[in-house]
Amino acid sequence: MSLKSRRRFPLLRATAELANAANAAHPLARDGYSTIPVFFLGWPTGEAAPVVVGASMLDALRRGRRGDFAGPRGRIALLLTAASWALLGYVYGRNAKSRPSFEEPLRKELGDNYEVVAERERKRRPGGVFRTGWSRRQYVKKSDTVRYGPHSVNVADIWHRTDLPLDGKAPVLLQIPGGAWAIGMRRPQAYPLMSHLAERGWICVSMAYRISPRNTWPAHIVDVKRALAWIKENIADYGGDPENISVTGGSAGGHLCALAALTPNEPVWQPGFEDADTSVAAAVPIYGRYDWYTDEGSGRPEFISILQRFIVKKRFADNRQIYLDASPITRVRADAPPFFILHGEDDSIIPVQEGRDFAAALKEVSANPVIYSEIPHAQHAFDFFGSPHGHYTADAVENFLNWVRAKTG
């Protein structure tokens, strides 16, 4: 490579870095299939900004030593690279100041003393991106991976402290992974939340389920119901309370979480275990899909097309009731359990209006608390990493669930 071409390359690279930083600050696309690469590039960049900046600085030092930033083009490239660092520093600072967006909706709905009611058992220092990523090793032993159903993918990890008394009746949280109903990887989703709760004496069950296109709806929700039934029958063996089970999940997991909470003991989705109790104490859907039937609006035609081709595998026009029944927003009910709904303002995969509409519809009919937290500038999957958003989510969810536990226990 000639010196001239080598000096051009840093300028292109620096421009790409700055564009990616801008995408992390504010998504560059909000409609159509372009939102997918926008999300996958901007999401880790924004949530793990210190790691991205650190790696970029080290690489810039390496490239600078070999002369990549020599000459006018090189100096411009260095300035653009530094601008991307500054922009990501701004993004991280903005994220770090977002705690009130998680806490104020809880305080408004539950009262000023909700944190006193939801007293904390242990203080915990946030682990950061890397420590949180390794947390499964601390709370899940080899014998804690269990099979909850007849299918090969019906497995779950039991997160818990080894010193929990077997007769302690610890509260339980079922974590349902996201992934567009087609990935469903339970690892490494929700590690900040589950490590936080496990440290505080909770038992968390992180499940996998049958996914599409190999499997067809409603296999996904059937597996969630089966996992709930398994927990009620077996969690006491781990020191858990079968009468105090809550459910959470993000994205597709948020959809399944909300749907499971709103359809307890639904016989059509409990084949072979119709008599099992699948009710839950509380639900925490995060950036979920709540509407499977609206076919107009931003991203809706593309979403319905994906459902028809890969998930439901039935024409929307001829099978509308299936899509309606699978939509949590159509299943709202007066006796719904308490709900804590979280959504990111800058979600480019599932527009924030979907979270707003679901929360409003549920709040209109439910006799129990419905709290909606909209996180400013947050992308889809904002709680995935051990970032400020991840740790604030864990704190807020713990406070909500402990409040429910105190009020109903």
Dihedral, CA of residue 275, residue 216, residue 384 and residue 258, to nearest 10: -40
**Residue 222 near residue 269 (C-beta atoms within 8 A):** yes
Compute how many other C-beta atoms are within 10 angstroms of the C-beta atom of residue 104.
Answer: 12
Beta pairing class for 203-207 and 240-250: unpaired
Catalytic residue among 220, 255, 377, 380: 380
Catalytic residue among 195, 212, 251, 366: 251
Decide: helix, strand or coil at residue 238: helix
Paired residues of 342 in beta bridges: 286, 373
Specify the length of the chain in residues: 409
Q: Is residue 380 flagged as an active site residue? A: yes
* Residue 304 neighbours by CB distance under 10 Å: 19
SS3 assignment, position 355: helix
CA distance 251 to 286: 6
d(CA 161, CA 181): 30
Check if the beta carbon of residue 203 is closer than 8 Å to that of residue 171: yes
Q: How many CB atoms lie within 10 A of CB 126?
A: 17
Spatial neighbors of 350 by CB under 8 A, at least 6 apart, are 251, 287, 288, 289, 343, 380
Q: Which of 157, 223, 346, 347 is catalytic?
A: 347
Q: Residue 367 and residue 389: Cα distance in Å, rounded? A: 30
Contact 241, 227 (CB under 8 A): no
Closest CA to 13 of 60, 54, 50: 60
Tokens 């909209």, residue located: 374
**Encoding tokens for residue 239?**
């020191």
Strands lying side by side in the sheet with 155-159 = 145-147, 155-159, 203-207, 170-176, 240-250, 282-286, 339-344, 370-375
End-to-end CA gap in the chain: 70
Q: Could you tell me the sign of the dihedral formed by the alpha carbons of 308, 183, 224, 400, in that order?
A: negative
Residues annotated as part of the active site: 251, 347, 380
